[in-house]
C-alpha cells in the first residue's frame, strides 16, 4: 500500500516512516500541508494518508477539506494525527473529511489496527470506483450501440419506403404526363363551347391541376432519392464523400424532426472537395445536431430557422449548423459533450447525441467540433474534417478519458 505521511516535525515524520516501512508499506513523506496536497493530487496518489493536525499555513483538516472538494482526485483514506484528544476537535476533523484519527503519541498496536481498517476501506473504495468507471463505460458503449442501431433502422426503413414508392411514383408521373398530352390534344375540340361557366372552369383548372400534380411528383421523387441515398450500407473504410450531398439527404430524411418548428436554409460550398470519411457516421452526427437544433427552437415556442453551411478551409472542410433556439446556458457549456448529460425529460433525450458526435468527429476522423452559443439567441455548432482524411496530431482513442 502507498501511504503518505505529512508532518512538519521531522522526528515524528521519520519515526512513522520507519515504522510503516517495517510493516512493508511504501511510505512517502511531506513536510507541510502544501506538499501533502500536491502529492495527493498526482496520478497514482497514495491510497492512505496520515496527516498531522498542526502544520504551518495549511493544516491537516484544511488538507482534508480541499482534497474532498476536488472531484477529480482519486479516493484516499485520511487519518488525522493529533496530540489533542478533545471531543470538539475530533468533530472538526471528521467534519473536514477525515476518516479516522490517531492520538499522538501513538501506540504501535493501535496504529497497526487502525491502519488495517484504513487499508480495508481504501481497498473497497478503489474497487468501487473502478466498478463505477467500468459501468459508465459499458453504459456509454450501450448508448452508442443503441444510437447506431436506431440509425440503421431508420436507414433501412427509409430505403424500404423508397423501394416501395419509386415504382408507383414512376407510373403516376407517366400517367399524369399522358393526361397533360391528352389535354393538349383534346383542348381544341372544346374551344367552341365558350360561355358555359362549368366548361370555362374546367378549361382553366385542368391544366393547373396537371401542373401541380407534376410538381408534387417531382417533390416525391426528390424525397425518394434522399431516402435511398441515406441508407447506404455501413462501410469499413473511409470513402471520399460529397458532404453537401450527405447534408441534403440528412436534412430531407429528418424533415419530420424539424419541419414543424423551423425552416432550413442551406448555403453549401459548390467547390467543396470530396472528403474521406465514414458517411453513415457523419450523417448520424448531422442528424443529432439537427435534432438538437429543432428541440432548442421548439423550446422557444416560436417558429425558428436552422442554417446549415459548408465551406472549404485550408486543409479541412467546415460544416456549420446554427439555430435560432434558446441557446445553451453558461453553466451547461462545459458539460454538453459529456455522455448522458441532458436537460431533456426522460424519454425525450438520453444525452447521447453530442457525446457520439464528439467521438465520431474527434476520435474517428481526427476532426474538431465546438460551438458558440448565446442564451436566448441561438447556437452554432462547427465541425471540421481534414481534407486528407488523416489530419494533424495523432489521437489515441481512450474511452475511459472520455467518461471522467
Ligand X SMILES: Nc1ncnc2c1ncn2[C@@H]1O[C@H](COP(=O)(O)OP(=O)(O)OP(=O)(O)O)[C@@H](O)[C@H]1O
Q: Would you tell me which residues interact with ligand X (CB under 6 A)?
A: 288, 292-293, 296, 323, 325-328, 332, 336, 341-344, 349-355, 379
Nearer to other proteins, 30 or 248 (CB): 248
Rg (CA), the chain: 33
Nearer to other proteins, 141 or 222 (CB): 222
Nearer to other proteins, 151 or 223 (CB): 223
Nearer to ligand X, 240 or 377 (CB): 377
Q: Is residue 274 within 8 Å of residue 239, measured between CB atoms?
A: no
Chain residues that interact with other proteins, rule: CB under 8 A? 162-163, 166-175, 177-178, 181-182, 217-218, 220-221, 224-225, 228, 235, 237, 239-240, 274
Spatial distance between the Cα atoms of 287 and 330, rounded to a whole number of angstroms = 24
CB of 356 to ligand X, least distance (A): 8
The set of residues, in sequence order, having a beta carbon less than 8 Å from that of 396 and lying 6+ positions away, is: none
Nearer to ligand X, 74 or 350 (CB): 350
In the list ligand X, other proteins, Mg ion, none, the entry touching 342 (Cβ below 5 to 8 angstroms by class) is ligand X
Closest among 183, 254, 248, 259 to 222, alpha carbons compared:
248
CB of 210 to other proteins, least distance (A): 12
Directed axis angle between helix 60-69 and helix 87-95, to 10°? 30
In the list Mg ion, ligand X, other proteins, none, the entry touching 168 (Cβ below 5 to 8 angstroms by class) is other proteins
Nearer to other proteins, 107 or 235 (CB): 235
Spatial distance between the Cα atoms of 287 and 277, rounded to a whole number of angstroms = 16
CB of 295 to ligand X, least distance (A): 6
In the list ligand X, other proteins, Mg ion, none, the entry touching 146 (Cβ below 5 to 8 angstroms by class) is none
Nearer to ligand X, 61 or 353 (CB): 353
Spatial distance between the Cα atoms of 160 and 176, rounded to a whole number of angstroms = 25
Chain residues that interact with Mg ion, rule: CB under 5 A? 292, 353
In the list ligand X, other proteins, Mg ion, none, the entry touching 78 (Cβ below 5 to 8 angstroms by class) is none
**Cis peptide bond prior to 105, omega within 30° of 0:** yes
CB of 256 to ligand X, least distance (A): 15
Q: Is residue 352 within 8 Å of residue 147, measured between CB atoms?
A: yes
CB of 218 to other proteins, least distance (A): 8
Closest among 237, 304, 246, 297 to 274, alpha carbons compared:
246
CB of 182 to other proteins, least distance (A): 8
Three-class secondary structure of residue 79 per DSSP? strand
Joined together, the cell numbers standing for residue 368 give: 474538431
Helices H / strands E in the chain, number of each: 11, 12
CB of 305 to ligand X, least distance (A): 13
Nearer to other proteins, 30 or 224 (CB): 224
In the list ligand X, other proteins, Mg ion, none, the entry touching 166 (Cβ below 5 to 8 angstroms by class) is other proteins
In the list other proteins, Mg ion, ligand X, none, the entry touching 235 (Cβ below 5 to 8 angstroms by class) is other proteins
Residue nearest to Mg ion as judged by C-beta position: 353
CB of 150 to ligand X, least distance (A): 10
Amino acid at each position: 500500500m502507498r501511504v503518505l505521511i505529512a508532518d512538519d516535525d521531522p522526528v515524528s515524520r521519520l519515526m512513522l516512516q520507519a515504522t510503516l516501512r517495517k510493516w512493508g508499506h511504501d511510505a512517502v513523506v511531506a513536510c507541510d500541508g502544501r506538499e501533502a496536497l500536491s502529492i495527493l493530487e498526482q496520478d497514482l496518489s497514495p491510497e492512505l494518508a496520515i496527516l498531522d493536525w498542526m502544520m504551518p499555513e495549511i493544516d491537516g483538516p484544511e488538507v482534508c477539506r480541499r482534497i474532498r472538494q476536488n472531484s477529480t482526485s482519486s479516493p484516499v483514506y485520511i487519518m488525522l494525527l493529533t496530540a489533542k484528544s478533545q471531543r470538539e476537535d475530533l468533530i472538526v476533523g471528521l467534519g473536514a473529511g477525515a476518516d479516522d484519527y490517531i492520538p499522538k503519541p501513538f501506540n504501535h498496536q493501535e496504529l497497526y489496527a487502525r491502519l488495517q481498517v484504513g487499508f480495508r476501506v481504501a481497498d473497497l473504495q478503489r474497487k468501487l470506483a473502478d466498478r463505477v468507471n467500468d459501468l459508465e463505460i459499458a453504459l456509454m458503449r450501450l448508448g452508442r450501440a443503441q444510437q447506431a442501431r436506431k440509425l440503421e433502422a431508420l436507414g433501412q426503413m427509409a430505403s424500404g419506403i423508397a423501394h416501395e414508392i419509386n415504382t408507383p411514383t414512376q407510373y403516376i408521373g407517366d400517367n399524369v404526363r399522358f393526361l397533360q398530352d391528352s389535354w393538349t390534344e383534346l383542348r381544341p375540340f372544346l374551344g367552341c363551347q365558350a360561355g358555359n361557366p362549368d366548361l370555362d372552369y374546367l378549361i382553366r383548372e385542368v391544366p393547373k391541376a396537371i401542373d401541380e400534380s407534376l410538381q408534387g411528383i417531382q417533390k416525391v421523387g426528390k424525397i425518394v432519392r434522399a431516402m435511398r441515398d441515406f441508407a447506404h450500407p455501413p462501410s469499413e473504410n473511409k470513402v471520399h464523400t460529397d458532404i453537401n450531398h450527405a447534408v441534403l439527404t440528412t436534412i430531407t430524411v429528418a424533415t419530420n424532426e424539424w419541419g414543424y418548428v423551423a425552416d432550413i436554409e442551406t448555403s453549401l460550398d459548390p467547390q467543396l472537395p470530396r472528403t474521406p470519411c465514414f458517411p453513415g457516421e457523419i450523417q448520424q452526427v448531422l442528424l443529432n445536431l439537427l435534432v438538437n437544433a429543432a428541440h432548442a427552437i421548439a423550446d422557444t415556442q416560436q417558429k425558428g430557422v436552422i442554417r446549415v453551411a459548408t465551406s472549404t478551409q485550408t486543409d479541412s472542410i467546415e460544416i456549420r449548423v446554427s439555430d435560432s433556439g434558446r441557446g445553451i446556458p453558461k453553466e451547461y457549456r462545459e458539460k454538453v459533450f459529456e455522455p448522458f448529460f441532458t436537460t431533456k425529460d426522460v424519454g425525450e433525450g438520453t444525452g447521447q447525441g453530442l457525446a457520439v458526435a464528439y467521438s465520431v468527429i474527434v476520435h474517428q476522423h481526427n476532426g474538431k467540433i465546438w460551438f458558440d452559443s448565446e442564451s436566448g439567441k441561438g447556437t452554432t455548432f462547427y465541425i471540421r474534417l481534414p481534407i486528407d482524411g488523416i489530419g494533424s496530431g495523432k489521437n489515441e482513442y481512450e474511452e475511459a478519458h472520455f467518461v471522467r
